Amino acid sequence: MSDPFGERPFPRGVLIAVAILLGSIILMISIARLTGMSPEQIPAAPAVETRDLRFESQPEEVLAVYDAGSGELIETFEPAEGGFVRGVLRSMGRERMLHQADADAPYQVARRADGAITLEDPETEILIRLRAFGESNEGVFAELLDAAPVSQ
């Protein structure tokens, strides 16, 4: 097989352009970090409905979801269920540890004026727009927002 480039060297202009581009990116990031500049987030639409939820691990890896206001059980996830909910809670729990926040404090699920469902951690002030993870994952939290207490 023959070399398609033969004896031709790589174009010097392309190498210079890539070096300038990378240098510019590094310079812009450095300036942003040193000046404290951060991109502005688009504010969330106003909440039209909210519910404070407390999540509790039960024996045999069952995840129980309680209405924080009434203390009533509204949902349980068996070990093979609620993978997205468990993943989000692990992530939020890590953030609470980093912020040395109360690990047992409730989270707030909200339906926004634009129809979006969000999950907010009042302890760390992190707000997650659940629509970014797909309609079915957002729907799990929408169901928790609307869920009636589980009869025991």
Q: Does residue 2 register a pLDDT over 70?
A: no
The pLDDT tens digits for 79-133 are: 888 889 999 999 998 998 988 988 889 999 999 999 999 999 998 888 999 988 8
- Angle 82-86-92 from CA coordinates, rounded to 5°: 145
Distance CA(71)–CA(91), nearest Å, equals 24
Number of H helices, E strands in the chain: 3, 6
Distance CA(119)–CA(114), nearest Å, equals 15
pTM: 0.69
Specify whether the CB–CB gap between 109 and 121 falls below 8 A. Answer: no
DSSP β-ladder status, 126-129 and 117-121: antiparallel
Query: What pLDDT does 6 receive?
Result: 66
Length of the chain: 152
Query: What pLDDT does 48 receive?
Result: 92
**Partner residues linked to 107 by β-bridges:** 53
Q: Which residues of 79-94 are buried (b: 16+ CB within 10 A; e: fewer)?
A: eeebebbbebbeebee
